[in-house]
């Protein structure tokens, strides 16, 4: 692979944005950050014309993209299409997400992700199984006919991915604590979501090994004065991560600011919960035999429940700046550094630092994507 330097950018480093710094890339990794004046004259350079250079975005909840819904096509080719649909919006790593489905579909999805990673499909980091171990009372657009409690064989299948990260969203009041412990012991990261749990049940789930909350505020019991609910447990707990959908629809900006104030820095992460229309010209897709269409950027099923989103990660970052009021650097970390920490891959991805993967996104002054790189390869 080639050696080159990215120059003339506002580079988001561990010390904030720096200018006059070149990012040297060798064999798909960041070899050094050094003053542009120290670059050798014969080195290939890519002038970014003053754009922001950020770590590539990492999305832990992606149901579809590029016209593909993972549930409908749990194949390697579908994953290639899905990740390509999101890459144009700055996502250089993602967790293809399978919502509640039958055992055989789950098995096919895990195998497709295993093969995609083995074949080097750019951007596939693992799998997110969102359900089917969730609560009918907070099902959203999930099909309650698919809901169940996993037995030992299903636990083994759901946690069988051996070359990537596995994230499982479940309702702690529906799944025994010993099952959560077994999943965690087998290497899975377990999140609470689509749950009607009480505060006490959510706390018991945290004690059993739950380490995150899927799309905070949505499809979970709310924070109230005498019943803190799942939201209260999530905001109180200092160690867990919370995914948030910053599209101006799923969560009010004030509620997002409350979460950011309550949680330690780095524990609130941007996710898209994206559906197939991201990266596609088709606003419709089929889910469980029902045609779902995005209208005015909002995705709902026939019953009126939110059915994922039409959000891309670059828009999530812009919204975090403009709607929530965070600086670009922090919004970018919520889309890159902090998700990498959540997934346990922060030693490989999520920052622009020596030794890490050369995964980048360049944003212009309007915070629109101008280029992406995965492993040093520019799209």
The DSSP-derived string for 355-370 is TSB--EEEE-TTS-EE
276 falls in which pLDDT band (50, 70, 90)? Answer: very high
Residues making up the binding site: 130, 141, 194, 215, 218-219, 226, 250, 306-308
Phi-psi region of 327 (alpha: psi -120 to 50; beta: other; left: phi over 0): beta
Q: Is the pLDDT of residue 305 over 90?
A: no
- pLDDT tens for each residue of 137-186: 999 999 999 999 999 999 999 999 999 999 999 999 999 999 999 999 99
Residue 296's pLDDT is what?
84
Q: Mean pLDDT of all residues in the chain?
A: 97
**Section 118-124 average pLDDT:** 98
> Which among 377, 361, 179, 147 has a CA at the least distance from the CA of 270?
361
Q: Is the pLDDT of residue 1 over 70?
A: no
- pLDDT tens for each residue of 8-17: 999 999 999 9
Residues making up the binding site for Zn(2+): 130, 194, 215
Residue 266's pLDDT is what?
98
CA 172 → CA 19, 40, 148, 198, 240, distances in Å? Answer: 47, 57, 13, 10, 15
Q: What is the set of domains in the chain, with CATH numbers?
A: 3-54+354-378 (2.30.40.10), 56-343 (3.20.20.140)
Q: How far apart are CA 71 and CA 128, in angstroms?
A: 12
What secondary structure does DSSP assign to 132-171, as a single string? Answer: SSS-GGG-TTS-GGG-----HHHHHHHT--SSSEEEEEE-
**Section 98-107 average pLDDT:** 98
Element (H, E) at 258: helix 253-262
Q: Verify cis geometry, omega within 30 degrees of 0, for the bond prior to 263.
A: no
Active site residue 162: no
- pLDDT tens for each residue of 334-366: 999 999 999 999 999 999 999 999 999 999 999
Residue 98's pLDDT is what?
98
Q: Is the pLDDT of residue 25 over 70?
A: yes
82 falls in which pLDDT band (50, 70, 90)? Answer: very high
What percent of the chain clears pLDDT 70, i.e. is strictly above it?
Answer: 100
Two structure tokens written together for 323: 């709607």
Residues making up the binding site for substrate: 141, 218-219, 226, 250, 306-308
Query: 3-class DSSP state for residue 210?
Result: coil
Neighbours of 69 (CB within 10 A): 21
Please identify which of the residues 51, 101, 247, 273 carries the catalytic annotation. Answer: 273
The residues, any chain, with a CB within 8 Å of residue 369's CB and separated by 6 or more, are 88, 89, 90, 314, 361, 362, 363
301 falls in which pLDDT band (50, 70, 90)? Answer: confident
Answer positive or negative: Cα dihedral of 16, 331, 163, 68.
Answer: negative
| Beta carbons of 133 and 162 less than 8 angstroms apart | no
Residue 248's pLDDT is what?
94
């Amino acid at each position: 692979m080639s050696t080159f330097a990215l120059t003339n950018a506002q580079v988001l480093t561990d010390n904030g944005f720096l200018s006059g710094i070149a990012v040297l890339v060798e064999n798909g990794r960041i070899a050094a950050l050094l003053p542009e004046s120290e670059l050798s004259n014969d080195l290939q350079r890519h002038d970014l014309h003053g754009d922001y250079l950020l770590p590539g975005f990492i999305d832990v909840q992606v149901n579809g993209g590029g016209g593909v819904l993972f549930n409908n096509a749990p194949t390697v080719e579908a994953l290639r299409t899905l990740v390509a649909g999101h890459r144009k919006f700055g996502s250089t790593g993602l967790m293809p997400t399978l919502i509640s489905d039958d055992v055989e579909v789950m098995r096919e999805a895990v195998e497709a992700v295993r093969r995609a990673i083995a074949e080097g499909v750019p951007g596939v980091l693992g799998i997110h199984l969102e359900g089917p171990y969730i609560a009918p009372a907070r099902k959203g657009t999930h099909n309650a006919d698919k809901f169940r409690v996993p037995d030992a064989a299903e636990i083994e299948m759901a946690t069988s991915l051996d070359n990537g990260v596995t994230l499982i969203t479940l309702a702690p009041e529906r799944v025994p604590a010993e099952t959560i412990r077994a999943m965690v012991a087998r290497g899975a990261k377990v999140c609470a979501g689509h749950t009607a749990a009480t505060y006490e049940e959510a706390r018991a789930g945290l004690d059993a090994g739950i380490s995150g909350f899927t799309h905070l505020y949505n499809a979970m019991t709310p924070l109230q004065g005498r019943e803190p609910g799942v939201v209260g447990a999530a905001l109180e707990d200092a160690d867990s991560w919370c995914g948030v959908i910053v599209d101006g629809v799923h969560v009010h900006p004030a509620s997002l600011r409350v979460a950011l104030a309550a949680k330690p820095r780095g524990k609130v992460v941007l996710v898209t919960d994206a559906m197939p229309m991201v990266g596609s010209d088709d606003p419709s897709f089929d889910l469980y035999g029902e045609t779902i269409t995005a209208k005015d950027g909002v995705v709902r099923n026939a019953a009126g429940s939110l059915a994922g989103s039409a959000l891309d990660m670059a828009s999530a970052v812009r919204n975090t700046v403009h709607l929530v009021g965070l600086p670009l650097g922090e919004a970018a970390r919520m889309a890159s550094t902090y998700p990498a920490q959540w997934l346990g891959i922060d030693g490989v991805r999520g920052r622009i630092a020596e030794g890490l993967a050369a995964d980048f996104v360049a944003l212009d002054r309007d915070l629109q994507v101008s280029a992406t790189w995965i492993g040093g390869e520019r799209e």
